[in-house]
């Protein structure tokens, strides 16, 4: 049975794609059949697919980062770097929530061991005026691996996100703290602080350009 893991975050540009690609590669190296998707993406440049989040996922899966493959893992693609619900309305291509749920569910048809779903923005990012990314997770009844940064304010943002996930009974696999470009203090100190504040949750830290930290233990 496919294990569905949603890679969510406390906000945008936190490190979801980096974490998803690292986890994807590590699971593949252990012999697992893994599929990764990012159903909704904004700021997508069709002339530079390889450098997009979608392109990085495709490359990690061993697929060519072209438009045909991008359509398969990111059906809702928008050029402008705006919140999904706004850019969808502006382009007259709204995100129909039921279709989004159905698309995600269909990705287990080939029975991969893992399906990794990378969200757009943070877990409370609106997908339309009635649904958020958190609602999508709840409808899919999947687990979540939460990604946070190391910037000033990250503890509050992380606690808020974890509270939202727990209120919806989402299975939280762990918290991954990605080193922010301008973190405010010693990286190890942040990890220790998180561990004291959230002692009941597996917490992993990833420094910039870190390709060795094992994330697979959080989901296997």
| Rounded mean pLDDT, 92-106 | 96
The C-alpha atoms of residue 83 and residue 80 are separated, in whole angstroms, by: 9
Helices 133-140 and 97-106 pack at an angle, to 10 degrees, of 50
Percent residues over pLDDT 90 in the chain: 87
Question: Is 196 tagged catalytic?
Answer: no
Longest Cα–Cα distance in the chain: 47
SS3 205: strand
Pick 182 or 148 by higher pLDDT: 148
SS3 43: coil
Q: 33, 38, 173, 196: which one is catalytic?
A: 38
**DSSP per-residue string spanning 83-133:** -HHHHHHHTT----HHHHHHHHHHTTTT--SEEEEE-SSSTT-BSSSS-BH
User: What is the reported pLDDT for 45?
Assistant: 97
CATH number 3.40.50.300 given to 3-218:
yes
Checking if the pLDDT of 175 tops 70, the result is yes
Q: CA-based angle 141:93:83, to the nearest 5?
A: 65
Checking if the pLDDT of 185 tops 70, the result is no
User: What is the reported pLDDT for 183?
Assistant: 65
Pick 15 or 184 by higher pLDDT: 15
User: What is the reported pLDDT for 209?
Assistant: 82
User: What is the reported pLDDT for 171?
Assistant: 98
User: What is the reported pLDDT for 194?
Assistant: 93
| Rounded mean pLDDT, 131-154 | 96
User: What is the reported pLDDT for 181?
Assistant: 84
């Amino acid at each position: 049975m496919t294990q569905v893991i949603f890679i969510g975050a406390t906000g945008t540009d936190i490190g979801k794609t980096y974490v998803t690609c690292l986890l994807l590669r590590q699971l593949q190296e252990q012999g697992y059949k893994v599929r990764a998707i990012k159903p909704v993406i904004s700021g997508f440049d069709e002339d530079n697919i390889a450098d997009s989040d979608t392109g990085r996922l495709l490359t990690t899966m061993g697929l060519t980062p072209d438009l045909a493959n991008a359509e398969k893992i990111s059906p809702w693609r928008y050029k402008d770097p705006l919140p999904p619900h706004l850019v969808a309305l502006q382009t007259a291509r709204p995100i129909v929530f039921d279709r989004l749920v159905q698309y995600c569910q269909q990705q287990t048809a080939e029975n991969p061991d893992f399906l990794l779903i990378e969200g757009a923005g943070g877990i409370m990012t609106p997908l339309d005026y009635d649904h958020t990314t958190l609602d999508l997770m709840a409808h899919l009844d999947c687990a979540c691996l939460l990604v946070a940064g190391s910037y000033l304010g990250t503890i509050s943002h992380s606690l808020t996100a974890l509270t939202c996930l727990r209120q919806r009974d989402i299975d939280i696999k762990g918290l991954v703290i990605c080193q922010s470009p301008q973190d405010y203090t010693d990286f190890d100190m942040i990890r220790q602080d998180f561990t004291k504040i959230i002692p009941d949750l597996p917490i992993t830290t990833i420094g910039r350009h870190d390709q060795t930290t094992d994330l697979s233990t959080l989901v296997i």
